[in-house]
Structure 1
Amino acid sequence: MLTPEAGVLEGAVWRKSSRSGSAGHCVEVAMVADGHYVGVRNSRQPDGAALVFTRKEWEAFAGGVKDGEFELPE
């Protein structure tokens, strides 16, 4: 995760997770800087802080999710 240049999230088109429920526990993501970075934010606080990852970091995370690496123990 990194701190991008000021304004890199400006004009970002945010997408809400399809897994978001009606309780407002939503995550939004946006591809920014021509796809070099991915922004992640809480949809309930759109003016709050956003995490920014490189594309490679995001792909590694998404791959881990798909592979079940983050399953909660029963």
Structure 2
Amino acid sequence: MTKTEEYKSSVISLVNLSRSYNEKIGIYQEHFINENFTFSVRLDNNTAIKISRTLAQDYEKLPSILTEEDLIEIAGSLWEI
């Protein structure tokens, strides 16, 4: 994985929005792009979530494309690190 700043504002927004679907989601610390071109987002409580690079890119251009299903998927990707 490679640390990146790509679409950082979108990633932070998506983390914050997804927290309403999973209260265990912590505060954004940094994010990485992995071999599948998905963002792995490290959070402050020793957890991480995955966010689609495509979703972050699209959300940055047109926030209205975000669906509840997108947020549920992000919230469900939480894992301990």
Structure with max Cα Rg: 1
Please identify which structure carries the higher helix content: 2
TM-score normalized by structure 1?
Answer: 0.38
Please identify which structure carries the higher strand content: 2
Which one scores higher on RCO, CA 8 angstroms, separation ≥ 6?
Answer: 2
TM-score normalized by structure 2?
Answer: 0.35
